[in-house]
Structure 1
Amino acid sequence: MRTFAAAALTGVLVAVLPATAALAADPKPDIAVTSAADKANYAEGETFTITVTVQNKSSVDAKRVHYTGGDSEGVDGVTYGVLSTGFDLAAGATRTVQLTGKTNHVAWQTGRGYVAFALAADNGEANDADNDTIARLPVAGAFGDLGGYVYQGESFDAEWTPQTPGIPGVKVVVSSTDGKTTYADAVTDAKGLFRLAHLPAGDVVLTFTVPAGWKILAGENGEDDHTRTQISADDSDEPRVFVPAKKVAVGSPSPSPSASASSPSTPAPSPSSSAGPGLPITGDNTMLLVGAAAVAVAVGTVLVLAVRRRRVHLQA
């Protein structure tokens, strides 16, 4: 039986080891990429330069590293340079390359353009989590208006229709995405409608403060009181933000314990009124408990000895 088990184990090792050796002999490069624009802000039609830092974090050389899946908005004439033809990158090496382009009118309208892409090597990629990047190109100068509704709904995906009751008195605050700048605020009317004018084009955050008895259902799962949106310098003044809110119970304030204890009309009962004479609240309680425990141990010991003595007499 032992001989059979040993033979089986040997067979498994013979089958597995070549496959393991083959995997170890064919590792993949691990390409990581980051990017940064050369300016913090651009004008419409301005040329930009994006510096791309490429790192090979693996122990194997990367063959012909090149960009793939490029995407962009608000830019024209993007030139990827050496990222188009590709280049080899040794194991553990880092290289910086550049790409260029120009912002266009769409970038001015929306407050920003962007260039996004991923990198790949001809001999594979060990980790796809960090081989893509996006470079954002802020373009200031344009302004736009924003409007929306806060309406009644039982879930974050409740639909709005012109007949859906709105929630009045909701305060809406518009701020930058980093929270450092507040641009404007408004309050919803009887239909739940709010309007904000002359906001800078770009991404902003709307924060909602509802009257008591309501809960905002914003965010991806309806768990937030804020949502992110984009301001665009177009001619449309139609409401574009729709946020539901649901009714919630309003908790009544509980009386203060100190107030009820100090009320002259309802004096607190004395602890000794029903339980007999009370002990002073000092360390004496501890000593009493220790003494009671010692007595209990002594009594238990005497009972055990008595039982043993009786058992000895009976056996005799």
Structure 2
Amino acid sequence: MRKLAAAALAGVLVAVLPATAAMAAPKPDIAVTSAADKANYAEGETFTITVTVKNKSSVDAKRVHYTGGDSEGVDGVAYGVLSTGFDVAGGATKTVQITGKTNNAAWRSGYGFVAFSLAADNGEANDADNNTSVRLPVAGAFADLSGYVFQGESDAAEWTPRTPGVPGVKVVATSADRKTRYAEASTDAKGLFRFTRLPAGNVLLTFTAPAGWKILAGENGEGDDTLTQVRAGDRDEPRVFVVAKKVAVSSPSASPSASASPSASASPSASTSTSASALPSASASSSAGPGLPVTGDKTMLFVGAAAVALALGTVLVLVARRRRVRLQA
């Protein structure tokens, strides 16, 4: 039994050790970049893409080759030696070329593209940078673009023909890099906006909502813009849908002039005028009830009392004379 167990263990080691050694062996690390030969193309024009393959490790990369990819708006892509493969020594760089032609789909979309991946037969230390793509702009086509800004509580809200729109939202269309401004529009009572003759390609729409509304666009609804594709020949119907949420309108802060002016209690003159206006006038006190007691200088009081006494004395003298005359008669 011991001999049988030893033989089995030896068999396992024979099977595992080569695989372990292969896994432990250093691998090449290739990085791939690509660039087109022109900034713009016409429909049906031939393009040439230069592919640069750099081996960042000290291990030779064996038979670097094309493993797969994608393309749009192009015809007859020829990968050349990328299809058969080639070696790249450790630390070395090699450039190759692929060719093809743009087609009508690229003209309608505003661009075509080619994307692909490369690999080496003896593995890859880091496959994060062995993918590449190149964009092939094709100018000349124009198309209309329209959409809705509608009411919702989150960016996941869905539009229906009965969903209320948000009027008065300003929409600005620019190039994707914001360097070129194409046009500006505003939403109508239904939240609909429309652009005519935008260039085919990627267009960035930036939304500015009126007070009381917040645009929920972009990633997780935290932005105010959205990137969309303009294609010639598409049906003329709304294709962009953006949510706007109703929010509270903040009250305006106190104006500088009001906050800067002194209060009535702080100003001596204001205090005086306020006190004066607070006291009831003579006419008001006579009609509303008994007046306040008079305080201060009593000179006028004495003068009034003397005048009343004088008048009373005069009346008494006249009455006494009339009585004397009657008695004599």
SS at match of 1:101: strand
Distance 2:222 2:136 in 1: 31
Distance 1:122 1:87 in 2: 10
Give the letter for the 1:159 counterpart.
E
What is residue 124 of structure 1 aligned with on the other side?
A: 123
SS at match of 1:221: helix
Distance 2:54 2:112 in 1: 25
Aligned 1:8-157 pairs, distance under 5 A? 22=21, 25-157=24-156
CA deviations over 1:212-253 (Å, ceiling 9, x no partner) = 010101012100000000110114111000000101111112
Shift of 1:262: 3.1
Give the letter for the 2:28 counterpart.
P
CA deviations over 1:255-299 (Å, ceiling 9, x no partner) = 25774253242529xxxxxxxxxxxxxxxxxxxxxxxxxxxxxxx
Identity %: 77
**Structure 2-normalised TM-score?**
0.73
Change beyond 3 A, Cα 1:233–1:218: same
CA deviations over 1:181-217 (Å, ceiling 9, x no partner) = 1111111111100110001001110000100010101
Distance 1:235 1:120 in 2: 38
Shift of 1:108: 0.3
1:187 partnered with 2:186? yes
CA deviations over 1:19-74 (Å, ceiling 9, x no partner) = 9x947851121110111000000000000000011101112111110112220000
**Structure 1-normalised TM-score?**
0.76
Q: Which runs of 5+ in 2 are unaligned?
A: 1-16, 268-329
Distance 1:266 1:24 in 2: 87
Aligned 1:251-262 pairs, distance under 5 A? 251-255=250-254, 259-262=258-261
Distance 2:234 2:201 in 1: 16
Distance 1:27 1:156 in 2: 48
CA deviations over 1:60-111 (Å, ceiling 9, x no partner) = 1111101122200000000000100010111111011000000000000000
Aligned 1:128-277 pairs, distance under 5 A? 128-255=127-254, 259-267=258-266
Distance 1:37 1:179 in 2: 23
Q: Which runs of 5+ in 1 are unaligned?
A: 1-17, 269-316
- Counterpart contact for 1:219–1:226, Cα < 8 Å: yes
- Counterpart contact for 1:108–1:142, Cα < 8 Å: yes
SS at match of 2:219: coil
Distance 1:216 1:264 in 2: 42
- Counterpart contact for 1:261–1:267, Cα < 8 Å: no
CA deviations over 1:129-177 (Å, ceiling 9, x no partner) = 1111110000000000100000001111111110110000111110001
Give the letter for the 2:103 counterpart.
N
**After the TM superposition, which parts of structure 1 deviate over 6 Å for at least 4 consecutive aligned residues?**
none
Q: CA RMSD in A?
A: 2.0
